[in-house]
């Protein structure tokens, strides 16, 4: 109270100062309050303060994207160096198309501070990172995250996004384990790359299947790899098919030297040897052809004791991807002897594309995805047919015409082709996200206006927005500044009113001009923090009943205020990021939001129109609008993972003498004539 009395006593002297001196006094005042108005530099925005980064920091400056490229986060099912499969192949090709990718590890670095370890850049445009996690390490294949761990991982992901300068992101999930983390990210689309029929795996429990059903619903895009899998997933939601492929050119190059000591024909297989691998069929086939060697390459997770007793079956174990082609050179015929169970019926086997790229004859059991390849592979529905097809395939080993046909077929189904399909789908998804219109009303206070507009540029990862600046006849240098810096800028509109028409009317001018699906009224005495707009948009996305939302803040007279303190913008970024990471996807229901920053769903604005003009220059028009929103049946809430700094009443504090108090008294009476007794706002419990 004493502070306010001092401010009121000094205000008349303040307005007698020159504009330049006022600016100096204002900066001094802000510094005393602990807010540094100096611009936030790139260094302290994504540098080391508050960010825990380890590893090869040179990668921070090497990860770049081309114009029109996307920022992609890959949440994998396997690590990059485990076995080169679909996830790695797709992101390698996505990077070649001008996108940039962070590929996270399947394991975590246990730490007491959020952050990440940069491991390496395996190819240009892709960086491997290991996220920090608290409490204890997690097995992504069998464990479920606790809420505290989810928040911690979200914070670590946010730090990675900021460190690499990622804006709006497209997250690709390969395993339902990641769902709860990715759902909480702001300014982010979710793509689930459903590669397998998870219910078909013997080691999958109910938790994984439940998580997958939830992921089907929350994803913006679901991809499947096979027709039957697509039909199974369609019970939960629509999806698109992007089949597997191969590095056609790589497998087409025949090495000079093979890997086997070979003195007779070889029938070969490489890949996992697990519960879906038909060992009985392999044994029967090997017995039918004692004159051939059957070479099996791959890790085994099932009992192969009986097969190992067969003299002409050899299990060589796992072989690195880069060493496969010498073995493939020595294969005369390639096998895919899978059981016909629901898992494999939904499978599109990568190895068939690789076999064909090498020009090899291929014999498969009758999986739907290989049946459609019938003109380039041999398909068997029974054990007898499978054994017969081996002889037919072996007779083709010297046929150059068939070899070229197989290679040409595979070339049309390489990973580059599949990545183009994926990139097109991601771009289409990216282009369909809601547009936000930010209406910034200005009246003098140029220093604050500059900071507000600069913060929007620096901290808005959500990239589909426009800014409409409406000036209410400022008498300082604001109009010149806006004309010189924003009048011709893309996605910016500057409207210069011929008089000060007040808060409501000024904002209505901007609202009428807005073209967005979400309309955000934003005072010029605000400073937005990272992920602010994405948080507001996400709240509407996941909550169809919400018609009006606002962020949490440091300074306001209602429940939007939280306990938070900082001394400069860099520290504000650190503290606000910590808060929003710990309150992801949380809402604080309210009956009245303050319009220092308020986001309105387009349907609400279409129904209710603009802000009431009954209140002249301002005060109580936000209470009035909230009454109208509530009467129309819409819900309102504060979005806990969106933070906006507020200086509070910068324009109204310029009113001389007791004009502010008189205006409040007058408008309170207008409000109560319309709506009954006005209930004073209050803080949420525990906030001071």
**Token pair of 68 as six digits:** 């029109």
Comparing 51-65, 249-263, 593-607, 649-663, the range with the smallest average pLDDT is 649-663
Q: What is the DSSP string of 498-511?
A: SS---HHHHHHHHH
User: Using CA atoms, how far apart are residues 523 and 83, in angstroms rounded to an integer?
Assistant: 53
Span 126-149, average pLDDT: 94
Q: Are the C-beta atoms of residues 14 and 22 closer than 8 Å to each other?
A: yes
Return the higher-pLDDT residue of 27 and 467: 467
In this prediction, residue 328 carries a pLDDT of: 97
Whether the per-residue pLDDT at 662 is higher than 90: the answer is no
Domains and CATH numbers, the chain: 1-33 (no CATH), 53-245 (3.40.50.2000), 248-413 (3.40.50.2000), 434-675 (3.90.550.10)
Whether the per-residue pLDDT at 47 is higher than 70: the answer is no
User: Using CA atoms, how far apart are residues 93 and 676, in angstroms rounded to an integer?
Assistant: 63
Least Cα distance to 640 among 553, 571, 574 occurs for: 553
Whether the per-residue pLDDT at 515 is higher than 50: the answer is yes
In this prediction, residue 18 carries a pLDDT of: 47
Q: What is the pTM of this model?
A: 0.89
Span 159-164, average pLDDT: 96
Whether the per-residue pLDDT at 37 is higher than 60: the answer is no
Comparing 107-116, 148-157, 192-201, 590-599, the range with the smallest average pLDDT is 192-201
User: Using CA atoms, how far apart are residues 240 and 603, in angstroms rounded to an integer?
Assistant: 30
Comparing 60-69, 275-284, 290-299, 605-614, the range with the smallest average pLDDT is 60-69
User: Using CA atoms, how far apart are residues 271 and 285, in angstroms rounded to an integer?
Assistant: 18
Whether the per-residue pLDDT at 12 is higher than 50: the answer is no
In this prediction, residue 35 carries a pLDDT of: 46
Span 634-650, average pLDDT: 91
- Banded model confidence at residue 83, pLDDT cuts 50, 70, 90: confident
85-107 pLDDT, tens digit per residue, is 999 999 999 999 999 999 999 99
How many C-beta atoms lie closer than 10 Å to residue 241's C-beta?
Answer: 15
349-381 pLDDT, tens digit per residue, is 999 999 999 999 999 999 999 999 989 999 999
Measure the N-to-C terminal CA separation of the chain; round to a whole number of Å: 14
**Token pair of 185 as six digits:** 């990210």
Q: What is the mean pLDDT of the chain?
A: 91
Whether the per-residue pLDDT at 13 is higher than 80: the answer is no
454-507 pLDDT, tens digit per residue, is 999 999 999 999 999 999 999 999 999 999 999 999 999 999 999 999 899 999
In this prediction, residue 201 carries a pLDDT of: 60
Residue 420 burial (C-beta neighbours within 10 Å; 0-12, 13-18, 19+):
middle
Q: Would you call 19 helix, strand, or coil by DSSP?
A: helix
């Amino acid at each position: 109270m004493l502070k306010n009395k001092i401010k009121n006593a000094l205000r008349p002297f303040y307005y007698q100062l020159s504009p330049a001196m006022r600016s100096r006094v204002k900066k001094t005042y802000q510094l005393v309050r602990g807010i540094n108005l100096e611009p936030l530099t790139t260094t302290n925005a994504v540098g080391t303060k508050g960010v825990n980064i380890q590893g090869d920091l040179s990668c921070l400056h090497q990860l770049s994207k081309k114009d029109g490229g996307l920022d992609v986060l890959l949440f994998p099912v396997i690590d990059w160096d485990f076995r080169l499969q679909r996830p790695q192949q797709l992101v390698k090709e996505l990077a070649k198309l001008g996108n940039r990718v962070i590929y996270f590890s399947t394991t975590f670095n246990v730490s007491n501070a959020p952050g990440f370890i940069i491991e390496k850049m395996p190819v240009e445009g892709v960086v491997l990172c290991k996220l920090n996690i608290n409490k204890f390490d997690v097995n992504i294949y069998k464990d479920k995250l606790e809420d505290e761990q989810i928040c911690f991982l979200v914070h670590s992901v946010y730090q990675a996004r900021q460190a690499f300068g990622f804006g709006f992101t497209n997250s690709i999930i390969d395993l339902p384990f990641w769902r709860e983390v990715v759902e909480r990210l702001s300014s982010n689309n979710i793509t689930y790359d459903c590669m397998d029929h998870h219910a078909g795996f013997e080691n999958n429990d109910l938790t994984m299947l439940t998580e997958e059903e939830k992921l089907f619903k929350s994803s913006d895009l679901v991809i499947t790899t096979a027709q039957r899998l697509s039909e199974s997933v369609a019970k939960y939601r629509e999806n698109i098919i992007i089949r597997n492929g191969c590095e056609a050119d790589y497998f087409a190059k025949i090495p000079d030297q093979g890997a086997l000591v070979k003195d007779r024909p070889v029938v070969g297989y490489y890949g996992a040897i697990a519960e879906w691998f038909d060992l009985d069929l392999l044994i029967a086939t090997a017995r039918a052809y004692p004159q051939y060697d059957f070479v099996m390459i791959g890790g085994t997770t099932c009992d192969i004791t009986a097969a190992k007793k067969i003299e002409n079956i050899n299990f060589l174990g796992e072989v690195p991807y880069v060493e496969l082609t010498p073995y493939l050179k020595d294969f005369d015929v390639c096998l895919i002897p899978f059981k016909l169970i629901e898992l494999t019926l939904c499978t599109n086997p990568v190895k068939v594309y690789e076999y064909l790229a090498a020009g090899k004859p291929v014999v498969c059991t009758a999986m739907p995805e290989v049946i459609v390849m019938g003109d380039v592979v041999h398909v068997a529905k029974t054990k007898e047919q499978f054994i017969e097809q081996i002889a037919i395939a072996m007779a083709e080993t010297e046929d150059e015409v068939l070899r070229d046909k197989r290679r040409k077929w595979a070339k049309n189904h390489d990973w580059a082709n599949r990545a183009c399909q994926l990139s097109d789908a991601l771009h289409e998804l990216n282009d369909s996200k809601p547009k936000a219109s930010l209406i910034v009303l200005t009246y003098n206070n140029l220093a604050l206006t500059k900071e507000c507009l600069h913060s929007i540029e620096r901290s808005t990862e959500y990239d589909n927005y426009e800014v409409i600046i409406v000036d209410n006849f400022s008498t300082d240098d604001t109009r010149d500044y806006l004309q010189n810096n924003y009048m011709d800028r893309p996605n910016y509109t500057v409207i210069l009113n011929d008089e000060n028409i007040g808060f409501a009317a000024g904002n209505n001018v901007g609202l009428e001009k807005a073209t967005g699906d979400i309309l955000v009224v934003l005072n010029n005495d605000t400073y937005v923090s990272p992920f602010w707009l994405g948080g507001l948009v996400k709240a509407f996305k996941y909550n169809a009943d919400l018609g009006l939302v606002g962020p949490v803040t440091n300074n306001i007279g209602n429940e939007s205020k939280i306990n938070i303190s900082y001394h400069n913008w860099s520290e504000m970024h650190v503290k606000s990021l910590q808060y929003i990471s710990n309150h992801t996807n949380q809402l604080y229901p309210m009956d009245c939001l303050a319009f220092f920053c308020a986001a309105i769903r387009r349907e609400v604005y279409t129904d209710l129109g603009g802000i009431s003009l009954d209140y002249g220059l301002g005060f109580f028009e936000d209470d009035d609008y909230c009454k109208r929103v509530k009467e129309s049946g819409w819900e309102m809430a504060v979005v806990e993972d969106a933070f906006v700094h507020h200086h509070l009443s910068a324009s109204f504090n310029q009113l001389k003498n007791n004009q502010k108090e008189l205006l409040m008294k007058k408008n309170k009476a207008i409000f109560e004539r319309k709506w009954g007794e006005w209930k004073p706002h209050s803080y949420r419990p525990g906030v001071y």
